[in-house]
Structures are given as structure tokens and as C-alpha cells.
Amino acid sequence: MAPRATAPPHPQLLVFQPLRKRHCAVCRRGPLPLLVMEDGAPSCLDCADLAHLEFLPRGDTALTRRAREESALSVVVVRFNRRRSRYERQGVLVEEAALARAEQRCLADAEARRRRRARDARRRAVQDERFAEAFAAEIQRLFPGCPAGRARDIAAHASVRGSGRVGRSAAGRALTEGAVTSAVVASVRHLDTPYDRLLMSGVPRQEARRRIAAAVETVLRGWRAARGEAGAG
């Protein structure tokens, strides 16, 4: 007997995709897309009582595993690779109903993943909201004279996820004084000074910043003063 390079482990449970044209030794039909070897002779799936099975090509590991779990009878389909001198798995034959149940389980998984993503998004939204609240509170602590609505707007703007703004930076998340002050300064620059207009009229950024520096400092000084002191000053 000629030795085989790689003998299939369970010949009785294997179905072959033949490399050459083969006909069924029992009913003579052919050429056969799939065959079973019985007593050294090829047999079609009908004659081997396997024709009720459905072919599931390899590729989807979860679906394959579940289909085999669900199926009372499952058969591995192999094809001989001449170059590598070995049988390679092409897929499995499983009961149609088993495949349907396996597909259902995979869909249920996808649905569960979708629900989890939605829950995560809601959790992140709550975190963002809490973070913006903490940010606004810190603005009010450092700048007691800043109107509450303005502090909330600055905090919300700085906290937008994925914006790369100061609130999303490590310093911003830690609510350091520098990060909070940067967000306030940016807001004052744009809303309380002619900074944006200067930029639009072609004034270079550094020059524009220099021209508005005093105006920004005045607003910040007013906001830094406690409410009581602001009234006294």
C-alpha cells in the first residue's frame, strides 16, 4: 500500500472534494462535486445517506462551531492540496435545521453586541455630562465672577468627546488649573474681544493676541474676584 503524506484522521467521517472527475461506484452518477470513500470506492452523497446535509464553507469559526454543536451528524469536507501534499479542510456538512439554529444564535450575538454598544454610548454620555459639570464647577471656583451660564457653555465646549479640545486632554481630564484657565481664556478671547475680527482682517495670530491681551486680562481679573470683592472693587 502506497504511504500517504497526511492520512485523514477519521476516513469514515470525511467527505472529499475530488481533484479529478469521479463517478459514484454505486449509482454511476458523476462527475461528483463531493464524494465519500467506501471500501476504497467513491460514493455520491445520496448513496452514502448524506445528501440531506448542507455545505457550510469554512471561514466563519463561530458559525461553524455552533452548526456542528446543533447538528446530530456533521462531516468535515476536505480537498487534497498537491503542492503541500496534505488534505485541507474546506468546510463542513451539517443538517439544514442545525445551520439555521446556528445562524440564529450568531444573529442573537450580534444583537447583544449592538445593545451593549448602545449601553456604552449612554454611559459615556453620562460621563461626559458629569465631566462637564465638574469642569463648570472648577471654572466657577477659579473665576467666581464668571456667570454660571457662561461657565457651563465653556465647560461643554471644552468637553466635547473626540474634539481634541483642552477638556479632553490629560490635564483637562484632571481639571488642572492650567487646563481650566486655558478654556476660559479661549472663550474670552473669542467672545469678549475683537480677536476673531482681527484674524479675519489679516492680522497675524501673535500680533492679534498681543493686541487683545489687556482686554482678556481685564475680563479674567473681573471674574477672578469673588462676587463680593467685585462689587467692592
Question: Given the rule CB under 5 A, which residues bind Zn ion?
Answer: 24, 26-27, 44, 47
CB of 55 to Zn ion, least distance (A): 17
Residue 22 or 150 having the CB closest to Zn ion: 22
Q: Output 186-193 pairs: Cβ under 8 A, ≥24 positions apart.
A: 187/150, 187/153, 187/154, 187/157, 188/216, 188/219, 188/220, 189/216, 192/216, 192/219, 193/219
Cell of 77: 469536507
Residue 26 or 198 having the CB closest to Zn ion: 26
CB of 52 to Zn ion, least distance (A): 14
CB of 54 to Zn ion, least distance (A): 19
CA dist., res. 65 & res. 80, Å (int): 23
Q: What is the 3-class SS of 18-63, one letter each residue?
A: CCCCCCCCCCCCCCCCCEEEECCEEECCCCCCCCCEEEEECCCHHH
Residue 50 or 186 having the CB closest to Zn ion: 50
CB of 92 to Zn ion, least distance (A): 21
Residue 43 or 182 having the CB closest to Zn ion: 43
